[in-house]
A and B are shown apart, each in its own frame.
Chain A
């Protein structure tokens, strides 16, 4: 599979008001292939959100380059669509008009975008909630709207920044399965950030383990657990083995990070 998204020796340094600048990411390189589901896994503060923001073009690397199909990303890139942890739905728009947003700004005719929006609303199983406002929905439902809104614009890459972190454990599990189902049918390249080893194992086809601050690639693991995958994959011995392997990689990072914090 051809490489669609790449980070090439990327470093990101944030200037602070006083004291030393913070190195969030240091010399990070990763190639993401078309159709892959890659999880960036790391402890909090490892710069994984910063990396995702660079893929979306919200912020630029201090050094190195971020590329989409070989072209550097220098400004906000709608072909890399982002799912935010806090949903970022427009509160004054209904489910339908939220999902239609990306189509409306592309100048799609009303009837056409309504049809297309309906298709994605159905896909995320929100049929019947078209005229509800986001505040009337649960967290899980709001995240479904965000997903539908993004999928409707047909981006080439889905960037997901801990999208299920704010959900309760049971809803999260349902959403993970939904996402697997959607990925199975759309085959959209997905870069998914998480700090949960379980989530990474359930969702991904490849896991990029990042070291704690500054973020560097610590290891890249292929996740060959059978697919189409189901949440009960967690019961298999292969799963336990992979989990152990990742935990060994991450453990020292977490402890180290915790020590420097404390």
Chain B
């Protein structure tokens, strides 16, 4: 089920009275019906405009062509291979970024010299889009897997670092005071209060960054790759197969949505105490 709106925001199962809400709440079945209708309307517009030749197929293929193309791509197994290749690169680059950036972010938050050392580099590197690393990474790593992973890494680690750095500073100082009053020493305060208190913020950062990692891998694959969803779209464009381009785009959307849902699930497992705060 594809829901609109910010990822992770779930609609309450029951309709709430509309007093005090800017946006009037509607019962869930109605919402679903309205969503379905809006999809059907857009699909019909697409169908009608291409079927009657108002839009030429070289600009927008017919829905049925896209469907057939999707079937073909699935049947050949190539589409799934591309999904798998891209996912692998994202996962490796993202995991590596997390392993490097989370400890650095914590260090920056609790030890001023670490912040002084890293600040200039963070300031310089942050504005760089990950694609600007493509020339250098190709020179250093060739055009193999490691180069794609490196692009994901370069595009992701700074965001994880910044979120991680911010999170411990948001831990309620009263909790630290209470912990010390109960006899906690520095190390206890760190492991029992600051880190768990910072965890929700760090995880939010990881979730935001995961979407960024995906856009990194796609741009890297568009420039130089033989496999992956980005490469697939780019090659389909070269062959003039616009239907396959659309299939690839849809595939990316679905894959990223699935990854988001997985991340939400992991978040709920890791932060059981946040469950009741959400609504």
Residues of A within 8 A of B (CB): 56, 58, 76-78, 80-82, 84, 86, 88, 90-93, 101-102, 104-106, 133-136, 149-150, 153
Contact = CB atoms under 8 A, between A and B. Distances in A.
B78 to A, nearest CB: 45
A150 B178 CA distance: 10
Contacts of B273: 91-93, 133-135
B193 A78 contact: no
B196 A90 contact: yes
A142 to B, nearest CB: 13
Given A105-B192, A136-B276, A78 B175 contact: no
A105 B188 CA distance: 6
B272 interface: yes
Contacts of B181: 56, 58, 76-78, 80-82
B185 interface: yes
- Which of B174, B183, B184, B193 has the most chain A CB atoms inside 10 A of its CB? B183
A54 to B, nearest CB: 13
29 contacts: A58-B181, A76-B177, A76-B181, A78-B180, A78-B181, A81-B182, A82-B181, A84-B174, A86-B174, A88-B172, A90-B175, A90-B179, A90-B192, A90-B196, A91-B273, A93-B196, A101-B179, A101-B182, A104-B188, A105-B179, A105-B182, A105-B183, A105-B184, A105-B185, A105-B188, A133-B273, A135-B273, A135-B277, A149-B182
B63 interface: no
Interface in B247-279: 271-273, 276-277
A84 B276 contact: no
Given A82-B181, A92-B273, A106-B183, 7 more contacts: A81-B182, A88-B174, A88-B177, A91-B273, A92-B196, A104-B188, A105-B184
A126 to B, nearest CB: 17
Given A58-B177, A133-B272, A135-B277, A153 B182 contact: yes
Given A78-B183, A102-B183, A105-B185, A84 B277 contact: no
B200 to A, nearest CB: 9
B199 interface: yes
Given A92-B273, A133-B272, A135-B273, A76 B180 contact: yes
B201 interface: no
B205 interface: no
Contacts of A88: 172, 174-175, 177-178
A102 to B, nearest CB: 4
A153 B177 CA distance: 15
Interface of B: 172, 174-175, 177-185, 188, 192-193, 196-197, 199, 271-273, 276-277
A92 B178 CA distance: 15
A135 B183 CA distance: 24
B202 to A, nearest CB: 13
A10 to B, nearest CB: 20
- Which of B174, B182, B277 has the most chain A CB atoms inside 10 A of its CB? B182
A82 B175 CA distance: 12
A133 B196 CA distance: 14
B59 to A, nearest CB: 54
A101 B177 contact: no
B276 A133 contact: yes
Nearest to B195: A92
Nearest to B191: A105
B198 to A, nearest CB: 10
Contacts of B192: 90, 101, 104-105
Nearest to A133: B273
A100 to B, nearest CB: 10
B182 A90 contact: no
Contacts of B178: 82, 84, 88
A88 B271 CA distance: 19
A187 B184 CA distance: 25
A49 to B, nearest CB: 13
A78 B199 contact: no
B268 to A, nearest CB: 13
A79 B15 CA distance: 51
- Which of A56, A88, A149 has the most chain B CB atoms inside 10 A of its CB? A88
A92 B180 contact: no
B82 to A, nearest CB: 40
A136 B178 CA distance: 20
A153 B272 CA distance: 27
A160 to B, nearest CB: 12
- Of all A-B residue pairs in the complex, the 3 with the closest CB atoms, nearest first, are A102-B182, A88-B178, A78-B183
Contacts of A90: 175, 179, 192-193, 196-197
Contacts of B175: 88, 90
Contacts of B172: 88
B180 A135 contact: no
